[in-house]
Amino acid sequence: MENKKTVNMDLKQYGMFLILIVIFIAFSIATQGANAKPVNINNLIMQNGYVVILAIGMLLCVLTGNIDLGVGSVVAVCGSVAGIIMIDYKLNMWVAIGAALLVGLLVGLFAGFFIAYLGIPPFVVTLATMLMGRGLTYTLLQAQTKGPFDQSYNFIGAGFLPVIKIPFGDGTLDLVSIFVAVVASVLLIFSEIKSNATKRKYNFAVNPTWQILLKLGLMLFIIWFFFYKLARNNGLPFVLLIMVILIAVYGFVTSKTVAGRQIYALGGNRKAANLSGIDTRKVFFWVYVNMGVLSSIAGIVLAARNGSATPKAGDGFEMDAIASCYIGGAAVAGGAGTIVGAVVGAFIMGILNNGMSLLGWSTDLQKIAKGAVLLLAVTIDVLSKRKKG
Amino acid sequence: MSEYILEMNHITKEFSGVKALDDVNIRVKKGEIHALCGENGAGKSTLMNVLSGVYPHGTYEGDIIYKGEHCAFHNLRDSEAKGIVIIHQELALSPLLSVAENVFLGNERTSMKGVIDWTETRKRAQEMLAKVGLENEDVNVPVNTLGVGKQQLIEIAKAMAKKVELLILDEPTAALNDEESRKLLDIMLDLKKQGITCIIISHKLNEIEYVSDSVTIIRDGKTIETLVKGKDDYSEDRVIKAMVGREMTNRYPEREGVEIGDVIFEVQDWNVFHPDDEHRQMLKNINLKVRAGEVVGLAGLMGAGRTELAMSIFGRSYGQKISGKVFINGQEVHLKTVKDAVKNKLAYISEDRKTYGLNLIGDVKENMTIAARPFFFSKHGVINANDEIVAAEDYRKRINVKTNSINQVVGSLSGGNQQKVVVSKWMMTQPDVLIMDEPTRGIDVGAKYEIYCVINELAKAGKAVIVISSEMPEIIGTCDRCYVINEGEIAGELNKEDFSQEHIMQLIMAHMRKGDENGK
């Protein structure tokens, strides 16, 4: 007997995408289309690359029910270490990158040790790394900006992947971007078909066809919108490649691996996780080590985009990363949240920043608006959960 | 005014259709110490919560007449204003605040509105402490520097500060040693002389015999009888009979066709010390054996050390300075972590599913597979999601977890279904030895029956099952054999043919008496 089970999609899962689109459209209207221009879309990605990278790592911390306040300072330390190696010691950029990653790893090991094995609250430990890291940066750089860096290094933050440009309309079109968009679309459609086939095979409930089509259509639209705009500009930024790789890897780790799910179990109920055979100290340790490494990647990217290392680099980034996770639907108490959510959260913050800048608002006003959006997003999240429970 | 300070008449309290209290009557004379007895879950605490206003007036049926007046309490404050104070088993003290501050916690001595008068607080605290025999204590030290016994007395002093007339003590001596218990009971007798009426809830019948003037026995939410000292037979045996004298009906499924095999689980000379106090021995020389296909009970009162025993074996999740040997399938195993235990085919289902068993914001599938995942549902650390879904669906059907889907959040399930999720989680690890700690606590009769069926199924599959339960009928109904544990020691062992609640209670009481004599 054919048993056709269908179930409606959980709209809340896609609510963030809708908010992202609504905010984008609102700013499009307010800026008379300025924020949808190809060069601005490109800026949006380049300016938010490091926040996205940090938000990915921060999500793991948030999943445990904690935060990492030190990431902004680690970004600065790693950038300055890379800068000193390249400018003062005139060494190869790969040495600089290696050293920066090593410093991030060491900070992570340091924080992880105190948090996991000595049981010091993460808030305190990372407050300490935040202060120590900032102080260390000023000491290393002697409060001076270090630069300019070599073009080959700056490529990481400001470079583009190879392009094949053809004349198109009033400008050019990059065929590589279009090609990637085609591949992404095919993969997306393919994975959707496969996942539905698997569901049917095991006789699991599937979503109604019109909902699947609507979801696919919306996602294809977003992909093509972004890639078309990028194709009209200079092609695909290198930062985008880093972001996509990290999102894919961490999306996989958090949803499909034993280690990833242990973070959720720990955040949901630490005692129960312990009694289920999970070494929760080990989980804590690696979450913070990972945050250190990702902070150093963000530091390398930021220094490359700026073309220099400055003592104030990364100031306040921890707050943007934390806010991204919460806006993206992660639970403050831990145990719930997704990588995609955190990334979308980071872009919502980015679109707000970018849009308000285009409108000529002062940074002071921008902070007020960002604070309000954070509060609103989390309030809606908490209230909607309360209604359900 | 009548001789009774308190009359509770025809109290009925339902929880979503289940009667926790069914026409309960209790009358307490002014100035007496009145004991309330019954098994765990009989309804004692519910009754006291009705009295103190935790369950507000209107959520129950019946009358409360206190000092000749009909009462309609809506919260604890209402009842405290009338001089009724309840002291719970868990201490309600703020550990880092001073003794004096704790005595007046929520009842602060103030000079102006909101400004604490420290001189008055300290002076009056001293007076209150004197009433409970603690006149030599420094009222300025943090309360956690005192022992549990003294903290319990400070709870009483706190009640005295509220001008208590009717004091309710819920298992006041559960965490105390004999000497401390004795002191507390003598303080109660002293309070009686000061004209304070007391209600004491206790499992320790020797204490009840010593301190109380009358005892009301509750069983299954109904009043059985009230015995008065000097008028009725007031012996422990008499009280036990009233407590447990219930007919056994078919609440336990028959277990048929199970072959009991060789010993597959054995614990030898197991000793464990308290995690925070290395001199306090919690378990002494425990030896036990369980055979394949056998269901063995661990009977005893709450706090006897059964959970501590299970958790200390299960990857040293409790205690320190643990010594002794564990054998599974004839091999000695060293279970240093929970993972070791799971690897060696041991599973432990905790008594407190919400705190130790479940990720309440996680879904059914996630909770079911989390423990077995490293061993069965993953390869090189990558999860096989389809296998998990198939397994979760299988268990959902097999043990009848009532849920919309395996993606439903566990926190939204009923207690019985939550328990089934925990049971599934541990069955999925395919253990040879399964310890179930209070497997049916707080779940309804239907779900209980299904859990018992699972136990039978496990036994049929040749597993060794250990059931820890404070409900003696459950031990009798489900087990082939049982160990009676009391105060961290094995007080005795009973085979199925010798099972009876009286026997279990007698073993406990005999062991307690022995302990008392050794103590003297």
In this predicted structure, what is the pLDDT of residue A2? 41
Q: How far apart are CA B411 and CA B397, in angstroms?
A: 19
In this predicted structure, what is the pLDDT of residue A1? 36
Please indicate whether, in this complex, the C-beta atoms of A277 and B314 are within 8 angstroms of each other.
no
Query: Contacts of residue A269 in chain B, CB cutoff 8 Å?
Result: 355, 358-360
| Segment A214-251, tens digit of pLDDT | 888 888 988 999 999 999 998 999 999 999 999 999 99
| Segment B6-33, tens digit of pLDDT | 999 999 988 766 678 889 999 999 999 9
In this predicted structure, what is the pLDDT of residue B211? 92
Which of B507, B446, B41, B516 lies closest to B297, judged by CA? B507
Q: Which of A204, A259, A279 sits opposite B337 (nearest CB)?
A: A279
Q: Specify whether the CB–CB gap between A103 and A320 falls below 8 A.
A: no
Per the structure block, which two tokens stand in for A296? 């150093």
Per the structure block, which two tokens stand in for A376? 């609103």
Per the structure block, which two tokens stand in for A219? 């996602």
Distance from the Cα of residue A137 to its chain's centroid:
24
Asked if pLDDT for residue A113 goes beyond 50, the answer is yes
Q: State whether the Cα torsion A54-A59-A64-A66 is positive or negative.
A: positive
B382 DSSP β-pair partners: A257, B379
Q: Which of A265, A279, A331 sits opposite B370 (nearest CB)?
A: A265
Please indicate whether, in this complex, the C-beta atoms of A268 and B373 are within 8 angstroms of each other.
no
Write down all domains in chain B, each with its CATH number in brackets.
4-244 (3.40.50.300), 258-345+431-520 (3.40.50.300), 356-430 (no CATH)
**Containing H/E element for B450?**
helix B445-460
Q: Which of B290-294, B411-415, B482-486 has the lowest mean pLDDT?
A: B411-415
Please indicate whether, in this complex, the C-beta atoms of A269 and B358 are within 8 angstroms of each other.
yes
Asked if pLDDT for residue A365 goes beyond 50, the answer is yes
Query: pLDDT band at A5, cuts 50/70/90?
Result: low
pLDDT mean across residues, chain B = 87
Q: What is the mean pLDDT of residues A138-143?
A: 94
Q: What is the mean pLDDT of residues A149-171?
A: 90
Query: Contacts of residue B316 in chain A, CB cutoff 8 Å?
Result: none
Asked if pLDDT for residue A375 goes beyond 70, the answer is yes
Radius of gyration, CA atoms only, chain B: 25
Query: pLDDT band at B232, cuts 50/70/90?
Result: confident
In this predicted structure, what is the pLDDT of residue B247? 45
Choose from B73-82, B103-112, B436-445 the range with maximum mean pLDDT: B73-82
- Strand ranges for B30-122 from DSSP E: 33-37, 61-66, 69-70, 84-87
Query: pLDDT band at A252, cuts 50/70/90?
Result: very high
Q: Chain B interface residues facing chain A, Cβ-Cβ under 8 Å?
A: 314-315, 317, 337-339, 341-342, 348, 350, 355-362, 366, 370-371, 373-374, 378, 381-383, 385-386, 389-390, 405, 411-412, 425
| Axis crossing angle, helix A280-306 with helix A38-63, rounded to the nearest 10 | 160
| Segment B118-128, tens digit of pLDDT | 888 999 999 99
Asked if pLDDT for residue A203 goes beyond 50, the answer is yes
What's the CATH fold of domain A32-159+237-384?
ABC transporter involved in vitamin B12 uptake, BtuC (1.10.3470)
Q: Which of residues 328-347 of A touch B (CB under 8 A)?
A: 331, 335-336
Q: How far apart are CA B470 and CA B441, in angstroms?
A: 9
Q: ipTM of the predicted structure?
A: 0.79
Q: Specify whether the CB–CB gap between B315 and B338 falls below 8 A.
A: yes
With CA atoms as reference, the chain A residue closest to B311 would be: A275
Q: Specify whether the CB–CB gap between A363 and A34 falls below 8 A.
A: no
- Percent pLDDT > 90 in chain A is 69
Q: Specify whether the CB–CB gap between A37 and A228 falls below 8 A.
A: no
Asked if pLDDT for residue B477 goes beyond 70, the answer is yes
| Segment B177-195, tens digit of pLDDT | 777 888 889 999 999 998 9
Burial B464-488 (b: 16+ CB within 10 A, else e): bbbbbbbbbbbbbbbbbbbbbbbbb
Q: How far apart are CA B64 and CA B261, in angstroms?
A: 57
Which of B124, B170, B172 lies closest to B149, judged by CA? B172
In this predicted structure, what is the pLDDT of residue A389? 42
**Rounded to a whole number, what is the distance in Å from the CA of A356 to chain B's nearest CA?**
37
Please indicate whether, in this complex, the C-beta atoms of A256 and B389 are within 8 angstroms of each other.
no
Q: Which of residues 201-230 of A touch B (CB under 8 A)?
A: 202, 204-205
**Other C-beta atoms lying within 10 Å of the C-beta of residue A287:** 29
Query: pLDDT band at B416, cuts 50/70/90?
Result: confident
| Segment B131-176, tens digit of pLDDT | 888 888 898 999 888 888 888 889 989 988 888 999 999 888 877 7
Q: Specify whether the CB–CB gap between A326 and A62 falls below 8 A.
A: yes
In this predicted structure, what is the pLDDT of residue A133? 96
In this predicted structure, what is the pLDDT of residue B432? 94
Per the structure block, which two tokens stand in for A63? 């999943």
User: What is A179-214 written as a DSSP string?
Assistant: HHHHHHHHHHHHHHHHHHHHHHHTT--B--HHHHHH
φ/ψ of residue B333, rounded to 5? -120, 145
Residue A286 touches chain B, beta carbons under 8 Å: no
**Other C-beta atoms lying within 10 Å of the C-beta of residue B5:** 22
| Segment B299-332, tens digit of pLDDT | 987 778 899 999 999 998 888 899 999 999 999 9
- Percent pLDDT > 70 in chain A is 95
Q: Specify whether the CB–CB gap between A296 and A74 falls below 8 A.
A: yes
